[in-house]
Protein backbone atom coordinates (compact mmCIF):
# COMPACT_ATOMS: atom_id res chain seq x y z
CA UNK A 1 0.00 0.00 0.00
CA UNK A 2 1.43 3.39 -0.87
CA UNK A 3 1.36 6.26 1.61
CA UNK A 4 -1.70 7.93 0.13
CA UNK A 5 -3.72 4.71 0.26
CA UNK A 6 -2.57 4.12 3.84
CA UNK A 7 -3.57 7.65 4.76
CA UNK A 8 -7.02 7.16 3.24
CA UNK A 9 -7.50 3.96 5.23
CA UNK A 10 -6.55 5.76 8.46
CA UNK A 11 -8.82 8.66 7.51
CA UNK A 12 -11.74 6.27 6.94
CA UNK A 13 -11.29 4.94 10.50
CA UNK A 14 -11.07 8.44 11.98
CA UNK A 15 -14.18 9.67 10.14
CA UNK A 16 -16.11 6.69 11.56
CA UNK A 17 -15.60 8.05 15.10
CA UNK A 18 -18.36 10.67 15.36
CA UNK A 19 -16.29 13.06 17.49
CA UNK A 20 -18.68 16.00 17.44
CA UNK A 21 -17.46 18.49 20.04
CA UNK A 22 -20.18 17.74 22.62
CA UNK A 23 -19.51 13.99 22.43
CA UNK A 24 -16.64 11.87 23.84
CA UNK A 25 -13.44 11.46 21.81
CA UNK A 26 -11.60 8.93 23.97
CA UNK A 27 -12.16 5.97 21.65
CA UNK A 28 -10.64 7.79 18.70
CA UNK A 29 -7.74 8.97 20.86
CA UNK A 30 -7.07 5.41 22.06
CA UNK A 31 -7.13 4.21 18.44
CA UNK A 32 -4.64 6.88 17.37
CA UNK A 33 -2.44 6.16 20.40
CA UNK A 34 -2.20 2.50 19.31
CA UNK A 35 -1.27 3.44 15.75
CA UNK A 36 1.43 5.83 16.96
CA UNK A 37 2.80 3.34 19.51
CA UNK A 38 2.99 0.72 16.74
CA UNK A 39 5.17 3.17 14.84
CA UNK A 40 7.48 3.50 17.84
CA UNK A 41 6.20 6.74 19.33
CA UNK A 42 6.09 7.52 23.05
CA UNK A 43 2.44 8.42 23.63
CA UNK A 44 0.73 10.26 26.49
CA UNK A 45 -3.03 10.63 26.80
CA UNK A 46 -4.35 13.44 28.99
CA UNK A 47 -7.95 12.92 30.12
CA UNK A 48 -10.17 15.72 31.31
CA UNK A 49 -12.12 15.59 34.61
CA UNK A 50 -15.06 13.74 33.00
CA UNK A 51 -12.80 11.03 31.57
CA UNK A 52 -14.74 11.30 28.31
CA UNK A 53 -12.36 13.67 26.56
CA UNK A 54 -8.66 13.36 26.00
CA UNK A 55 -5.72 15.14 24.45
CA UNK A 56 -2.88 13.16 22.95
CA UNK A 57 0.79 14.05 22.84
CA UNK A 58 3.31 11.73 21.25
CA UNK A 59 6.98 11.93 20.38
CA UNK A 60 9.26 10.28 17.86
CA UNK A 61 13.00 10.83 17.99
CA UNK A 62 15.29 12.04 20.74
CA UNK A 63 14.05 13.32 24.07
CA UNK A 64 15.38 16.85 23.59
CA UNK A 65 14.17 20.41 23.12
CA UNK A 66 13.62 22.09 19.78
CA UNK A 67 11.20 19.62 18.21
CA UNK A 68 8.49 20.14 15.64
CA UNK A 69 4.87 19.82 16.75
CA UNK A 70 2.24 18.61 14.29
CA UNK A 71 -1.04 19.71 15.76
CA UNK A 72 -4.66 18.97 14.98
CA UNK A 73 -8.01 18.92 16.76
CA UNK A 74 -9.95 15.68 17.03
CA UNK A 75 -13.42 17.20 17.24
CA UNK A 76 -15.74 18.04 14.38
CA UNK A 77 -18.76 20.32 14.10
CA UNK A 78 -22.27 18.81 14.20
CA UNK A 79 -24.14 17.63 11.12
CA UNK A 80 -27.56 18.50 12.56
CA UNK A 81 -29.81 20.32 10.09
CA UNK A 82 -27.30 19.76 7.30
CA UNK A 83 -28.35 18.12 4.08
CA UNK A 84 -25.71 15.46 3.40
CA UNK A 85 -25.88 13.30 0.29
CA UNK A 86 -23.93 10.52 2.07
CA UNK A 87 -23.46 9.27 5.64
CA UNK A 88 -21.22 12.00 7.12
CA UNK A 89 -19.51 9.50 9.41
CA UNK A 90 -18.53 7.09 6.70
CA UNK A 91 -15.74 8.09 4.33
CA UNK A 92 -17.01 8.08 0.75
CA UNK A 93 -15.42 8.93 -2.57
CA UNK A 94 -16.66 11.21 -5.30
CA UNK A 95 -14.07 11.09 -8.04
CA UNK A 96 -10.90 12.43 -6.45
CA UNK A 97 -12.73 13.89 -3.48
CA UNK A 98 -12.88 12.14 -0.12
CA UNK A 99 -16.12 13.06 1.59
CA UNK A 100 -17.14 12.94 5.24
CA UNK A 101 -17.46 15.11 8.33
CA UNK A 102 -13.97 16.18 9.33
CA UNK A 103 -12.17 15.23 6.11
CA UNK A 104 -10.77 18.74 5.68
CA UNK A 105 -11.39 20.09 9.22
CA UNK A 106 -9.15 18.36 10.16
CA UNK A 107 -8.90 14.61 10.27
CA UNK A 108 -7.24 14.54 6.83
CA UNK A 109 -4.17 16.27 8.26
CA UNK A 110 -4.21 14.05 11.36
CA UNK A 111 -4.44 10.90 9.21
CA UNK A 112 -1.50 12.10 7.10
CA UNK A 113 0.67 12.67 10.18
CA UNK A 114 -0.21 9.23 11.59
CA UNK A 115 0.53 7.57 8.23
CA UNK A 116 3.91 9.30 8.31
CA UNK A 117 4.77 8.02 11.79
CA UNK A 118 6.43 4.85 10.44
CA UNK A 119 8.41 6.65 7.69
CA UNK A 120 9.46 9.22 10.33
CA UNK A 121 10.77 6.46 12.62
CA UNK A 122 12.61 4.82 9.75
CA UNK A 123 14.90 7.88 9.85
CA UNK A 124 17.40 8.50 12.60
CA UNK A 125 15.73 11.64 13.82
CA UNK A 126 18.04 14.26 15.27
CA UNK A 127 15.17 16.57 15.99
CA UNK A 128 12.02 15.20 17.69
CA UNK A 129 8.69 15.19 15.90
CA UNK A 130 5.68 15.55 18.17
CA UNK A 131 2.04 14.75 17.51
CA UNK A 132 -0.42 16.92 19.37
CA UNK A 133 -4.10 16.08 19.02
CA UNK A 134 -6.62 18.01 21.07
CA UNK A 135 -10.29 17.90 21.98
CA UNK A 136 -12.92 20.64 21.74
CA UNK A 137 -11.18 23.11 19.45
CA UNK A 138 -14.44 24.04 17.75
CA UNK A 139 -15.94 25.16 21.05
CA UNK A 140 -13.10 27.51 22.05
CA UNK A 141 -9.81 25.58 22.00
CA UNK A 142 -10.72 23.97 25.34
CA UNK A 143 -8.41 20.96 24.94
CA UNK A 144 -5.38 22.91 23.77
CA UNK A 145 -5.79 25.38 26.62
CA UNK A 146 -5.35 22.56 29.14
CA UNK A 147 -2.72 20.62 27.16
CA UNK A 148 -0.32 23.46 26.39
CA UNK A 149 0.38 24.35 30.07
CA UNK A 150 0.55 20.62 30.91
CA UNK A 151 3.32 20.17 28.33
CA UNK A 152 5.12 23.16 29.76
CA UNK A 153 4.92 21.65 33.25
CA UNK A 154 6.46 18.42 31.97
CA UNK A 155 9.33 20.33 30.43
CA UNK A 156 8.53 19.71 26.76
CA UNK A 157 10.14 22.51 24.79
CA UNK A 158 9.41 22.15 21.09
CA UNK A 159 10.38 25.17 19.02
CA UNK A 160 8.05 24.89 16.02
CA UNK A 161 4.32 24.22 15.75
CA UNK A 162 2.49 23.40 12.54
CA UNK A 163 -1.27 23.52 12.89
CA UNK A 164 -2.84 21.58 10.04
CA UNK A 165 -6.12 23.46 9.68
CA UNK A 166 -7.25 23.59 6.04
CA UNK A 167 -5.29 26.29 4.20
CA UNK A 168 -4.90 24.49 0.85
CA UNK A 169 -1.30 24.01 1.98
CA UNK A 170 -0.67 27.75 1.93
CA UNK A 171 1.31 29.16 4.85
CA UNK A 172 -0.72 31.20 7.29
CA UNK A 173 1.36 33.23 9.72
CA UNK A 174 -1.33 35.28 11.39
CA UNK A 175 -4.93 35.45 12.44
CA UNK A 176 -6.89 37.52 14.90
CA UNK A 177 -7.93 36.22 18.26
CA UNK A 178 -11.55 35.92 19.33
CA UNK A 179 -12.81 36.88 22.77
CA UNK A 180 -16.48 36.63 23.66
CA UNK A 181 -18.09 38.01 26.80
CA UNK A 182 -21.47 38.39 28.46
CA UNK A 183 -21.68 41.33 30.84
CA UNK A 184 -24.59 41.29 33.33
CA UNK A 185 -25.98 44.31 35.12
CA UNK A 186 -27.90 43.98 38.35
CA UNK A 187 -29.79 47.12 39.36
CA UNK A 188 -32.87 47.76 41.46
CA UNK A 189 -36.40 47.53 40.10
CA UNK A 190 -38.91 50.28 40.76
CA UNK A 191 -41.75 52.32 39.33
CA UNK A 192 -40.95 54.32 36.24
CA UNK A 193 -42.45 57.45 37.81
CA UNK A 194 -39.56 57.68 40.26
CA UNK A 195 -36.34 56.77 38.45
CA UNK A 196 -34.03 57.96 41.25
CA UNK A 197 -35.33 55.32 43.64
CA UNK A 198 -34.26 52.47 41.42
CA UNK A 199 -31.08 51.49 39.58
CA UNK A 200 -31.86 51.18 35.91
CA UNK A 201 -29.88 48.15 34.72
CA UNK A 202 -30.66 48.85 31.07
CA UNK A 203 -29.45 52.44 31.39
CA UNK A 204 -26.16 51.24 32.89
CA UNK A 205 -25.82 48.60 30.18
CA UNK A 206 -26.20 51.41 27.62
CA UNK A 207 -23.48 53.47 29.36
CA UNK A 208 -21.22 50.43 29.28
CA UNK A 209 -22.03 49.83 25.61
CA UNK A 210 -21.21 53.47 24.89
CA UNK A 211 -17.86 53.07 26.61
CA UNK A 212 -17.22 49.93 24.54
CA UNK A 213 -17.88 51.93 21.37
CA UNK A 214 -15.49 54.71 22.48
CA UNK A 215 -12.80 52.15 23.20
CA UNK A 216 -13.43 50.50 19.83
CA UNK A 217 -12.49 53.83 18.23
CA UNK A 218 -9.29 53.95 20.32
CA UNK A 219 -8.43 50.43 19.18
CA UNK A 220 -8.30 51.70 15.60
CA UNK A 221 -5.47 54.02 16.59
CA UNK A 222 -3.56 51.15 18.20
CA UNK A 223 -3.39 49.05 15.00
CA UNK A 224 0.17 47.96 14.18
CA UNK A 225 1.43 50.12 11.32
CA UNK A 226 2.17 47.14 9.08
CA UNK A 227 -1.01 45.20 9.97
CA UNK A 228 -2.28 43.04 7.10
CA UNK A 229 -5.59 42.21 8.73
CA UNK A 230 -8.87 43.40 7.30
CA UNK A 231 -9.76 45.60 9.07
CA UNK A 232 -6.21 46.21 10.34
CA UNK A 233 -7.19 46.89 13.97
CA UNK A 234 -8.76 44.97 16.82
CA UNK A 235 -12.51 45.10 16.31
CA UNK A 236 -15.30 45.14 18.89
CA UNK A 237 -18.90 44.16 18.28
CA UNK A 238 -21.96 44.41 20.48
CA UNK A 239 -24.09 41.46 19.46
CA UNK A 240 -27.00 41.53 21.87
CA UNK A 241 -28.49 43.83 24.49
CA UNK A 242 -31.49 42.79 26.48
CA UNK A 243 -33.34 43.70 29.64
CA UNK A 244 -36.48 45.28 31.01
CA UNK A 245 -40.22 44.60 31.01
CA UNK A 246 -42.34 47.61 30.09
CA UNK A 247 -42.45 51.39 29.64
CA UNK A 248 -43.18 52.17 33.25
CA UNK A 249 -40.90 49.73 35.08
CA UNK A 250 -37.30 50.43 36.08
CA UNK A 251 -35.47 47.32 34.86
CA UNK A 252 -33.47 45.46 37.50
CA UNK A 253 -31.53 43.26 35.09
CA UNK A 254 -29.79 43.71 31.75
CA UNK A 255 -27.36 41.69 29.71
CA UNK A 256 -24.88 42.61 27.02
CA UNK A 257 -23.21 40.12 24.69
CA UNK A 258 -20.10 41.43 22.99
CA UNK A 259 -16.85 40.28 21.43
CA UNK A 260 -13.51 41.55 20.31
CA UNK A 261 -11.03 40.19 17.79
CA UNK A 262 -7.57 41.26 18.88
CA UNK A 263 -4.76 41.73 16.37
CA UNK A 264 -2.23 41.83 19.23
CA UNK A 265 -2.13 40.53 22.80
CA UNK A 266 -1.85 44.03 24.24
CA UNK A 267 -5.24 45.12 22.92
CA UNK A 268 -7.30 42.74 25.02
CA UNK A 269 -5.32 43.75 28.10
CA UNK A 270 -5.94 47.39 27.24
CA UNK A 271 -9.70 46.81 26.90
CA UNK A 272 -9.89 44.91 30.18
CA UNK A 273 -8.01 47.58 32.11
CA UNK A 274 -10.06 50.43 30.68
CA UNK A 275 -13.37 48.67 31.30
CA UNK A 276 -12.42 47.70 34.84
CA UNK A 277 -11.47 51.27 35.63
CA UNK A 278 -14.74 52.56 34.17
CA UNK A 279 -16.78 50.10 36.26
CA UNK A 280 -14.88 50.79 39.47
CA UNK A 281 -14.72 54.56 39.28
CA UNK A 282 -17.86 55.51 37.36
CA UNK A 283 -20.58 52.90 37.15
CA UNK A 284 -20.52 50.92 40.40
CA UNK A 285 -20.23 53.90 42.79
CA UNK A 286 -23.29 55.51 41.17
CA UNK A 287 -25.27 52.26 41.18
CA UNK A 288 -24.36 51.36 44.75
CA UNK A 289 -25.20 54.83 46.06
CA UNK A 290 -28.82 53.78 45.49
CA UNK A 291 -28.58 50.02 45.98
CA UNK A 292 -25.58 48.43 47.72
CA UNK A 293 -26.44 45.11 46.05
CA UNK A 294 -26.11 46.52 42.54
CA UNK A 295 -23.45 44.77 40.51
CA UNK A 296 -21.75 44.32 37.15
CA UNK A 297 -20.13 41.01 36.26
CA UNK A 298 -18.55 39.73 33.07
CA UNK A 299 -18.57 36.09 32.08
CA UNK A 300 -15.89 34.90 29.69
CA UNK A 301 -17.61 32.83 27.01
CA UNK A 302 -14.40 32.11 25.14
CA UNK A 303 -10.96 33.66 24.79
CA UNK A 304 -8.83 32.40 21.92
CA UNK A 305 -5.58 34.24 21.41
CA UNK A 306 -4.56 35.25 17.91
CA UNK A 307 -1.49 34.27 15.94
CA UNK A 308 0.65 37.38 15.65
CA UNK A 309 2.67 37.68 12.45
CA UNK A 310 6.36 37.80 13.43
CA UNK A 311 9.29 39.13 11.49
CA UNK A 312 11.33 36.05 12.32
CA UNK A 313 9.29 32.85 12.24
CA UNK A 314 11.19 29.55 12.11
CA UNK A 315 8.02 27.62 11.38
CA UNK A 316 7.38 29.80 8.32
CA UNK A 317 10.97 29.40 7.14
CA UNK A 318 10.80 25.62 7.53
CA UNK A 319 7.45 25.17 5.77
CA UNK A 320 8.45 27.57 3.01
CA UNK A 321 11.53 25.44 2.36
CA UNK A 322 9.45 22.25 2.35
CA UNK A 323 6.56 23.45 0.19
CA UNK A 324 8.30 26.00 -2.01
CA UNK A 325 5.56 28.40 -0.95
CA UNK A 326 7.31 31.75 -0.63
CA UNK A 327 4.51 33.91 0.70
CA UNK A 328 2.65 33.73 3.97
CA UNK A 329 -0.83 35.13 4.53
CA UNK A 330 -3.15 36.12 7.32
CA UNK A 331 -6.68 34.72 7.60
CA UNK A 332 -9.90 35.68 9.37
CA UNK A 333 -10.52 32.34 11.14
CA UNK A 334 -9.20 31.15 14.52
CA UNK A 335 -6.92 28.24 15.31
CA UNK A 336 -4.92 26.89 18.24
CA UNK A 337 -1.72 28.37 16.80
CA UNK A 338 -1.69 31.41 19.10
CA UNK A 339 -1.59 29.17 22.16
CA UNK A 340 1.64 27.58 20.94
CA UNK A 341 3.04 30.97 20.02
CA UNK A 342 2.35 32.25 23.53
CA UNK A 343 4.55 29.46 24.85
CA UNK A 344 7.45 30.80 22.83
CA UNK A 345 7.19 28.50 19.81
CA UNK A 346 7.08 29.81 16.31
CA UNK A 347 3.89 28.68 14.66
CA UNK A 348 2.14 28.60 11.32
CA UNK A 349 -1.10 27.15 10.07
CA UNK A 350 -0.70 24.91 7.04
CA UNK A 351 -2.86 21.97 6.11
CA UNK A 352 -4.71 20.22 3.30
CA UNK A 353 -8.18 21.16 2.08
CA UNK A 354 -10.04 24.41 1.89
CA UNK A 355 -11.63 26.30 4.77
CA UNK A 356 -14.54 26.87 2.37
CA UNK A 357 -15.36 23.17 2.82
CA UNK A 358 -15.15 23.21 6.61
CA UNK A 359 -18.38 22.96 8.61
CA UNK A 360 -20.43 22.44 5.41
CA UNK A 361 -22.63 19.51 4.33
CA UNK A 362 -20.74 17.14 2.01
CA UNK A 363 -17.42 18.37 3.43
CA UNK A 364 -14.61 16.96 1.32
CA UNK A 365 -10.86 16.85 0.87
CA UNK A 366 -9.20 16.26 -2.47
CA UNK A 367 -6.62 13.50 -2.88
CA UNK A 368 -4.29 16.04 -4.50
CA UNK A 369 -4.32 18.12 -1.30
CA UNK A 370 -3.72 15.07 0.85
CA UNK A 371 -0.79 14.09 -1.40
CA UNK A 372 0.70 17.60 -1.14
CA UNK A 373 0.46 17.35 2.63
CA UNK A 374 2.22 13.95 2.62
CA UNK A 375 4.97 15.36 0.41
CA UNK A 376 5.48 18.22 2.84
CA UNK A 377 5.62 15.78 5.78
CA UNK A 378 8.10 13.53 3.95
CA UNK A 379 10.34 16.57 3.54
CA UNK A 380 9.88 17.35 7.22
CA UNK A 381 11.04 13.84 8.15
CA UNK A 382 14.17 14.29 6.05
CA UNK A 383 14.89 17.70 7.50
CA UNK A 384 14.53 16.38 11.07
CA UNK A 385 16.93 13.53 10.25
CA UNK A 386 19.54 15.76 8.65
Q: Shortest Cβ contact with Zn ion: which residue?
A: 105
- Give the x/- contact pattern for Zn ion in 263-302, rule: CB under 5 A: ----------------------------------------
- Give the x/- contact pattern for Zn ion in 132-171, rule: CB under 5 A: ---------------------------------x------
Pick between residue 104 and residue 205 the one whose CB is nearest to Zn ion: 104
CB of 103: closest distance to Zn ion in angstroms? 12
Q: Which residue among 8, 75, 136, 267 is the active-site one? A: 75
Tally DSSP H helices, then E strands, for the chain: 10, 17
Pick between residue 101 and residue 127 the one whose CB is nearest to Zn ion: 101
SS3 47: strand
Which of 105, 180, 336, 363 touches Zn ion by CB under 5 A?
A: 105
Residue among 173, 216, 163 at smallest CA distance from 336: 163
Using rule CB under 5 A, residue 173 touches Zn ion: no
Using rule CB under 5 A, residue 363 touches Zn ion: no
Using rule CB under 5 A, residue 336 touches Zn ion: no
Residue among 274, 266, 279 at smallest CA distance from 183: 279
The C-alpha atoms of residue 365 and residue 110 are separated, in whole angstroms, by 13
The C-alpha atoms of residue 98 and residue 108 are separated, in whole angstroms, by 9
155 to 41, 46, 57, 129: CA distances (angstroms): 18, 15, 13, 15
Pick between residue 105 and residue 136 the one whose CB is nearest to Zn ion: 105
Q: Which residue among 8, 105, 137, 180 is the active-site one? A: 137
Using rule CB under 5 A, residue 75 touches Zn ion: no
CB of 361: closest distance to Zn ion in angstroms? 16
Backbone angles phi, psi at 122, to 5 degrees: -70, -25
Residue among 105, 140, 145 at smallest CA distance from 355: 105
137 flagged as catalytic: yes
297 exposed, middle or buried (CB, 10 Å; 0-12, 13-18, 19+)? exposed
38 flagged as catalytic: no
Question: Which residues carry out catalysis?
Answer: 75, 137
Binding region for Zn ion (CB under 5 A):
105-106, 165
Amino acid sequence: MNLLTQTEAILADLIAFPTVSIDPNVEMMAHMATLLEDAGARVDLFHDATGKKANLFATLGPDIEGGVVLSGHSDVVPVTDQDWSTDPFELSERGDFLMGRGTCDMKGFIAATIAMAKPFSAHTLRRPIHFCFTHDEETGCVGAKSLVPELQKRGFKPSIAIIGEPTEMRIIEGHKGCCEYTTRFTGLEGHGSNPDRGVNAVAYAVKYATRLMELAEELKGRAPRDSRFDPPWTTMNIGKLQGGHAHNVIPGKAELEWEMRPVQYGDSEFMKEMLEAYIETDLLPAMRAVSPRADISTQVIGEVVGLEPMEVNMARTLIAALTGCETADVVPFNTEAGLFQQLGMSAVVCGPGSIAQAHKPDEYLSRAQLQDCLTMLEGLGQSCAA
